[in-house]
Chains A and B, each alone.
Chain A
Amino acid sequence: EVQLVESGGGLVKPGGSLRLSCAASGFTFSSYYMIWVRQAPGKGLEWVSWISGSGSYVYQADSVKGRFTISRDNAKNSMYLQINSLRAEDTAVFYCARGSYYTFDIWGQGTTVTVSS
């Protein structure tokens, strides 16, 4: 079964850091680009970051540049999102998704990040 499972979310104080993980199974992970999307409580989806299948190329949304870093380890079938200098407005559910051409066909169940003192 093709599956993505996120982990690593939690409660963190403003200014803190977190590393989110996305574990993939059921497909050849290295053959697909991957993305992170976040959704603040009661709000819409926001594309956050993209990484190529090899991990050599990355892009981030302007809103998170300099604070979020996407990476992947194809040997472990895993993708990561390092989030630094967390702010209250980063409180959201973070989803990882598999890219296929120019769409996202498989999504994880999400991991919740709460930034609060």
Chain B
Amino acid sequence: QSALTQPPSASGSPGQSVTISCTGTSSDVGAYNYVSWYQQNPGKAPKLMIYEVNKRPSGVPDRFSGSKSGNTASLTVSGLQAEDEADYYCNSYVGNYNWVFGGGTKLTVL
């Protein structure tokens, strides 16, 4: 199972919106509405930000939103804040209790 494709980097100024894409295939992202997004700060564990494409766990700001179209999922961060600077990883269920992650995107707040 190949890793999902994410852009290596993304950036935006405080207050702006930025969208990170996550491209898979009809066997993973396109097949299931089980795409999650994780935020990881340097030296820290990943943190769940979005699950089932567009659902937010309790405590995650509503500035974070997710969507999916075909084989591509997206994470949008609106009203960028300095604290949003981190690495972001998408993840998709691929069947038979297997999952695949994206390569990660480093989000920089300018």
Contact = CB atoms under 8 A, between A and B. Distances in A.
Contacts of B46: 37, 45, 95, 97, 104, 107
Interface residues of A, number: 24
Chain A residues touching B, majority SS: strand
B89 to A, nearest CB: 5
Contacts, number: 69
Contact of A47 (B52, B57, B101): B101
Given A103-B52, A105-B57, A107-B45, A44 B89 contact: yes
Interface residues of B, number: 27
Contacts of B101: 37, 44-47
Interface of A: 33, 35, 37, 44-47, 50, 57, 59, 61-62, 95, 97, 100-105, 107-110
17 contacts: A37-B46, A44-B101, A44-B104, A45-B46, A45-B101, A47-B101, A50-B97, A57-B97, A59-B98, A95-B46, A102-B52, A102-B99, A103-B34, A103-B48, A103-B52, A105-B51, A105-B57
